[in-house]
Amino acid sequence: MAAIMKNKMKSLWSGKIIFNRKLRPLHFHLGLSLPEAFADPYPGQFVMLRPVGPGGPLLSRPFSIYNFNRGQDQVRIEILYRVTGAGTEMMSALRGGMTVTILGPLGKGFVIDGQKRNHLLVAGGMGMAPIAFLAGYLHRKGSAETRVITCLGAKNCDDLLGLEQLEKLSDILNIATEDGAMGSCGMVTDFLPELLKEYDPAETNVYACGPMPMLKLLAGRLATVPKLSCQVSVEERMACGVGACLGCAVPLLDARGRITQKSVCKYGPVFASSKICWERL
């Protein structure tokens, strides 16, 4: 399996809405048709979207890529989003045939070590979107020995999205809700101790995306496990998407152990968990 490496060239495109489905009171599934020249994105990359027309927001909004398909007559990208403010509220009113501008694909995606058999995917809340895209990649590109173990967590059932897709793409799917309404009662990180007993850390990759407190807790639990590779996709507010404004910087450790600030949009959003200075977050 080839490793996922560096960014593709950044380009601005015009996308036409295929559908904008309401999944929950605040959650939507958006599908866009794009020009054939749009580069194939890697799992973990993102795009910047902005509706076209009067009254639209001045700044684009960043969204993780949930799915991507290149067919004979159509290039389609899909995202999941939650209405959290004026920009996403405007997006929720978009209808089929309308147009948005899209910048991407952007950022650094997950690096896949095809020599390891076990791929442990951990998603919290809207972190499910890039994790589902990664699960699909592993499902298509993996060998017969590849095992995809997915752990999905949310506050309640209303925040659990994409279960049907993840069930198809995962060999094992573990679900946790904080209120216990579905799956185990607790945090998604609660699955880790038992899973790491079952799967040899030297044969296991961990990939995670979710709220920063979840990632910080996960990093703390995995820090003492030798020979375990862990990558996290960091959720941060982004204004430009290309590293120009430095508004999404996080503290990282360089090769000499010094703390340096790097923008999530340019150098991430995926980082090795061991390189993030978690005590500064």
Residues 229 and 124 in one domain: yes
Residue at which a domain ends, from 106, 128, 149: 106
Q: Residue 274: what pLDDT?
A: 93
Q: Residue 5: what pLDDT?
A: 37
- pLDDT band of residue 265 (cuts 50, 70, 90) is confident
Measured CA to CA, the distance from residue 133 to residue 124 in angstroms comes to 14
Measured CA to CA, the distance from residue 211 to residue 129 in angstroms comes to 13
Q: Looking at the domain assignment, is residue 32 inside a domain?
A: yes
Residue in this structure with the two tokens 């194939």, named with its chain if needed: 40
Residues 66 and 151 in one domain: no
Contacts of 9 (CB under 8 A, 6+ apart): 39
Q: Domains in the chain: how many in total? A: 2
Q: Looking at the domain assignment, is residue 3 inside a domain?
A: no
Residues 184 and 263 in one domain: yes
Measured CA to CA, the distance from residue 249 to residue 279 in angstroms comes to 15
Of the two residues 85 and 237, the one the predictor is more confident about is: 85
Residues 133 and 29 in one domain: no
What are the φ and ψ backbone dihedral angles of 136, each rounded to 5 degrees? -65, -40
> Can you give the residue range of the structural domain that contains 88?
11-106
Is the pLDDT reported for residue 22 higher than 70? yes
- For the whole model, what pTM was predicted? 0.91
What are the φ and ψ backbone dihedral angles of 276, each rounded to 5 degrees? -90, 135
Q: 44-100 pLDDT, tens per residue?
A: 999 999 888 666 666 788 999 999 999 888 899 999 999 988 888 989 999 999 999
Measured CA to CA, the distance from residue 106 to residue 62 in angstroms comes to 10
| Number of neighbouring beta carbons within 10 Å of residue 152 | 29
What is the CATH number for 152?
3.40.50.80
Task: Tell me what the pLDDT averaged over the chain comes to.
Answer: 89
Q: Looking at the domain assignment, is residue 227 inside a domain?
A: yes
Residues 141 and 190 in one domain: yes
Stretch 206-233: mean pLDDT: 93
Measured CA to CA, the distance from residue 59 to residue 67 in angstroms comes to 24
Residue at which a domain ends, from 106, 129, 156: 106
Residues 46 and 128 in one domain: no
Where do runs of H (alpha helix) occur along the chain?
A: 86-92, 128-141, 163-169, 192-198, 212-222, 264-267
Q: What is the DSSP string of 222-240?
A: HTTSTT-EEEEEE----SS
Q: Residue 87: what pLDDT?
A: 84
Residue at which a domain ends, from 52, 85, 106: 106
Q: Looking at the domain assignment, is residue 78 inside a domain?
A: yes
Q: What percent of the chain has pLDDT over 90?
A: 67
Q: Please check whether residue 259 is in contact with residue 253, taking contact to mean a CB–CB distance below 8 angstroms.
A: yes
Q: Residue 240: what pLDDT?
A: 64
Residues 182 and 213 in one domain: yes
What are the φ and ψ backbone dihedral angles of 159, each rounded to 5 degrees? -95, 0
Residues 72 and 145 in one domain: no
Measured CA to CA, the distance from residue 207 to residue 196 in angstroms comes to 14
Q: 121-158 pLDDT, tens per residue?
A: 999 999 999 999 999 999 988 777 889 999 999 999 98
Stretch 32-46: mean pLDDT: 95
Q: Looking at the domain assignment, is residue 6 inside a domain?
A: no
Residues 28 and 127 in one domain: no
Q: Looking at the domain assignment, is residue 232 inside a domain?
A: yes
Chain centroid offset of residue 123 CA: 8
Residues 230 and 136 in one domain: yes
Of the two residues 167 and 7, the one the predictor is more confident about is: 167
